[in-house]
A = this chain, B = another copy of it.
Amino acid sequence: MKRYNVGVVGALGAVGTEMMKILEQRDFPVERIKPLDLKENEGKKVSFKGREVEVKAAGEGAFRDLDIALFSAGEGASHKLAPVAVAEGCIVIDNSNAFRMAPRVPLVIPEVNPEDVLWHEGIIANPNCSTTQMLVVLKPLHDKYVIKRIVVSTYQAVSGSGLPGIAELERQLRAYLEEQELEVNVYPHQIAFNAIPHIDSFMDNGYTKEEMKMVHETHKILHNGEISISPTAVRIPVIRCHSEALNIETKKPIDAEDAKKVLSRAPGIKVLDDVSTNIYPLAAKLVGTDEVYVGRVRQDFSVKNGINIWIVADNLRKGAALNAVQIAETLIRYKKV
């Protein structure tokens, strides 16, 4: 079996750390791992398969010996370095927003549109975390019932802002319990004991970029601009795992019990739904898992054809690092690397 030289750009970040872990856990055919990060972090060590590996500076020349580079170092770093990596002969799987909507860059969720890797020209984009978990669930429903409209409200974890988001929440909680003043650095407002309806920046239409990503990325991934999506994206004081309340209206008749069966057979999904024993997906319980968890599947009595569901996924894994590694696996399966 062929083995690959794999780079991880942003190896010290929340998603980068998870990427290294997932490459190891899934026994990805790594010939050599090359953790890359900011120049000032050069020489730091990260662990991979029981060995300490030295972090190198991400920059020109760093990609020459690599087959695949997983990028998660922010939009700026991707804009700057992804073209460099491609020029140096490396395939880039980019977790940032930099290239997601670029017409010549495929945007891929392996359970949804794996064949889109076939037309890549060097860069493949990883969708936004809140889009990915939503689409893993919508795809099998769309195939059977034809989705007409979605109203989605998100309950997003602070790790979506990386390690600084987690540190900010913990610092504020500690200050609160010690009756000290809360300092606000990472988010526009206090995140402890709050629900902030503001993720990424605001656009002219009154929606945030985070919300509009859910609209535009869905259309691109499903190759279908007809599905209407009405999103509200909210940050809450959860460390890890995003939850979403999804209201789904379909063109064909949909029955909650039948939809549950469809979901339980679909790839990448686990149905956790037995309200008689208080079983439904929960952020605090699903840290470190790989699937998108679905529960509270129930008929929507307010429309002709509709259901409500509650979904949870680990935003650092399926929402980011895992999906990126799965894209790399898909490239291997299709012999495109």
Which residues 202-257 in A have Cβ within 8 Å of B in the complex?
202, 205-207, 228-230, 232, 234, 236-240, 243, 245, 247, 256
Question: Whose C-beta in chain B lies nearest to the C-beta of A284?
Answer: B194
A306 an interface residue at 8 Å Cβ cutoff? Answer: yes
Q: A275-B206, A302-B149, A306-B230 are in contact. Are A283 and B193 (CB under 8 A)?
A: yes
Partner-binding segment picked from A76-84, A292-300, A315-323: A292-300
A27, chain B: closest CB distance, angstroms: 31
Indicate if the CB atoms of A196 and B282 lie closer than 8 Å.
Answer: yes
Report which of B177, B232, B245, B280 forms a contact with A296, defined as CB distance below 8 A: B232
Chain copies in complex: 2
Given A206-B296, A256-B206, A302-B229, are A193 and B308 neighbors across the interface (CB < 8 Å)?
Answer: no
Residues of B within 8 A of A302 (CB): 149-151, 228-230
Closest to A277 in B: B188
4 more contacts with CB within 8 A, not counting A174-B177, A230-B308, are: A149-B302, A155-B155, A155-B234, A205-B298
Nearest-Cβ distance from residue A243 to partner chain B, whole angstroms: 4
What DSSP secondary structure best describes chain A's contact surface? mixed
A230 near B247 with CB under 8 A, answer yes
A284 touches B192 (CB 8 A): yes
Residue of B nearest to A208 (CB): B275
A303 contact from B228, B295, B301, B308, Cβ within 8 A: B228
CB distance from A146 to the nearest CB of B (A): 15
Contact in complex: B297, A206 (CB < 8 Å): yes
Q: What are 30 A-B contacts defined by CB distance under 8 Å?
A: A149-B303, A155-B155, A170-B177, A173-B173, A173-B177, A190-B285, A193-B238, A194-B285, A195-B236, A195-B243, A197-B280, A197-B296, A198-B278, A198-B280, A202-B276, A206-B256, A206-B296, A206-B297, A207-B298, A228-B301, A228-B303, A230-B247, A230-B301, A230-B306, A232-B245, A232-B296, A232-B308, A234-B245, A237-B238, A247-B247
Q: Is A153 an interface residue (CB 8 A)?
A: yes
Residues of A within 8 A of B (CB): 149-151, 153, 155, 170, 173-174, 177, 188-190, 192-198, 202, 205-207, 228-230, 232, 234, 236-240, 243, 245, 247, 256, 275-276, 278, 280, 282-285, 295-303, 306, 308, 310
Residue in chain B with minimal CB distance to A287? B193
